Amino acid sequence: MRCSRMFAPTLREMSTEAEMSSHRLLLRAGFIRQLAAGIYSFLPLGLLVLQHVTNIIRDEMNRAGAQELLLPALHPQELWAESGREATMQDILIKATDRRGTKFYLGPTHEEVITDLVRHNIRSYRDLPLNLYQIQMKYRDEPRPRGGLVRTREFLMKDAYSFHCDEASLDATYQKMIDTYKIIFRRCGLAITPVDASGGAIGGKETKEFMLLIKSGEDTVLVCPQCGYAANREIADNIPPCCGVPYEERSGMELGHVFKLRCAISEPLHATVTDENGAETPIVMGCYGIGVSRILAAVAEVNNDENGLIWPMSIALYHVYLLAANPTDQVQKDLADHIYNEQTAAGIDVLYDDRSERVGVKFKDADLIGVPLRLLVGRLAGQGICELHDRKTGVNVDVSGEQVVSEVSRSIANKLPYT
């Protein structure tokens, strides 16, 4: 991709009062724009990162045996009445009506819709277990949208729902999803803490939240300084410290959630299968969510410096930012063009800054948008040498033109987490 053609409106300064650095930087770097309170457009650079995150999630969910589908966002009001959640979730439901006055809700989550699908299409325990997921926009009427992509009213979510004929089967998938989530977040470059939110005192509930422990997080997590066990404050207040020493209080941003629904939805919706003995039994369910667009905010929040964003290679918009120090110098321009073509052919995602701007402006933009590697073709172009710069460490190395593809490929591979 060539910068001269790219729609990436970067801003030198910010008039906004955005409190989180991720929010400020995603706006400044031209990744997102607000259309209305809590409603954002993803510009090309933001969408690239979003797609890379999505690909990782899809990859790992498929590997875990889940199957992707795509459910509607327009939900008939009756389904929400049937589950009983029309009343309990009323506040966050966005209402829509059609020309006949029929009422719909914009899906804030899809337990009702997917359980309706499954009850009409699955009859026997032989068809279970089943783990179905989608990556789709959700709609929630949040009273206080905040932090850019952190809490919005229209957001991208991966939501999975599993269906079982017994608890043991649910347990196995629940554990598999916990393991899968750890891999997904690691691949996105995030150090996530699984937090217990089981509400031991209450009993029935079993749930884990996947938290990024950062100062700007709006949840409170209690962490045991001895063993690392972490619990949601609401439940931890009810249980004695696990190792005898007091919990430490930390702030966290929730990025994922796994939940044993059991029969909370299947019972009111009469979603049953026949078991081995031919008896009707309610389907046992689990649900598993990841805030996909929130991941962008989270990664941006923990990977930035005073000059801008620093994307992890695994989800970076581009691998390499390429520029010639002086594009009017034919030797420099030829070498940069050659490297661009060669790297693109080798499957390396290169952003080529071919604009007629000063090199200082280009460096600033490269730093701001946070491409992990920068390749400068400058004074040593005549000797076929260019400079490879690491956005994160600031380290520069000279690389010869013949070795640039292999050297960049090696640098990319070194920056990818084991999968």
Q: Which residues bind its own copies (CB under 8 A)?
A: 5-7, 9, 30, 33, 35-36, 39-44, 46-47, 50, 65, 67-76, 91, 94-99, 102, 104, 106, 113, 116-117, 120-122, 130, 132, 137, 139, 141, 143, 153-154
**Residue with token string 């938290």:** 211
Rg (Cα) of the chain, in Å, rounded?
Answer: 25
Question: In this complex, which beta carbon is closest to its own copies, that of residue 95 or of residue 410?
Answer: 95
Question: In this complex, which beta carbon is closest to its own copies, that of residue 130 or of residue 300?
Answer: 130
Give just the sign of the alpha carbon dihedral 314, 315, 318, 320.
Answer: negative
Q: Closest separation between CB of residue 129 and its own copies, Å?
A: 9
Q: Is 139:107 a contact under the CB 8 Å cutoff?
A: yes
Q: Closest separation between CB of residue 309 and its own copies, Å?
A: 18
Q: Closest separation between CB of residue 228 and its own copies, Å?
A: 35
Q: Is 300:25 a contact under the CB 8 Å cutoff?
A: yes
Question: In this complex, which beta carbon is closest to its own copies, that of residue 47 or of residue 385?
Answer: 47
Q: Is 107:70 a contact under the CB 8 Å cutoff?
A: no
What is the C-alpha to C-alpha distance for residues 317 and 321, in angstroms, rounded to an integer? 10
**Residue with token string 């929730």:** 254
List of E strands, 165-277: 193-196, 207-213, 219-223, 230-232, 248-262, 272-274
Which residues touch 237 (CB under 8 Å, ≥6 apart)? none
Backbone angles phi, psi at 364, to 5 degrees: -60, -45
Distance in angstroms between the alpha carbons of the first and the last residue of the chain: 28
Q: Closest separation between CB of residue 269 and its own copies, Å?
A: 14
Q: Report the candidate in 247, 245, 243 with the shortest Cα–Cα distance to residue 235.
A: 247
Question: In this complex, which beta carbon is closest to its own copies, that of residue 153 or of residue 250?
Answer: 153
Question: In this complex, which beta carbon is closest to its own copies, that of residue 75 or of residue 208?
Answer: 75
Q: Closest separation between CB of residue 227 and its own copies, Å?
A: 37
Question: In this complex, which beta carbon is closest to its own copies, that of residue 136 or of residue 251?
Answer: 136
Q: Closest separation between CB of residue 12 and its own copies, Å?
A: 14
Q: Closest separation between CB of residue 43 and its own copies, Å?
A: 5
Q: Closest separation between CB of residue 10 and its own copies, Å?
A: 10
Q: Closest separation between CB of residue 336 and its own copies, Å?
A: 20
Q: Report the candidate in 1, 24, 22, 21 with the shortest Cα–Cα distance to residue 11.
A: 24
Question: In this complex, which beta carbon is closest to its own copies, that of residue 50 or of residue 235?
Answer: 50
Query: Residue 152 corresponds to which tokens in the numbers above?
Result: 């919005």
Question: In this complex, which beta carbon is closest to its own copies, that of residue 90 or of residue 238?
Answer: 90
Q: What is the DSSP string of 117-145?
A: HHHHH--BGGG--EEEEEEEEEE---SS-
Q: Is 83:113 a contact under the CB 8 Å cutoff?
A: no
Q: Closest separation between CB of residue 102 and its own copies, Å?
A: 8
CA 269 and chain centroid, separation: 31
Q: Closest separation between CB of residue 44 and its own copies, Å?
A: 5
Q: What is the DSSP string of 140-172?
A: ---SS-BTTTTB-SEEEEEEEEEEESSHHHHHH
Collapsing DSSP to helix, strand or coil, 362 comes out as helix
What are the start-end ranges of the H helices in 188-291? Answer: 233-236
Question: In this complex, which beta carbon is closest to its own copies, that of residue 39 or of residue 227?
Answer: 39
Question: In this complex, which beta carbon is closest to its own copies, that of residue 37 or of residue 245?
Answer: 37
Question: In this complex, which beta carbon is closest to its own copies, that of residue 10 or of residue 198?
Answer: 10
Question: What amino acid occupies position 289?
Answer: G
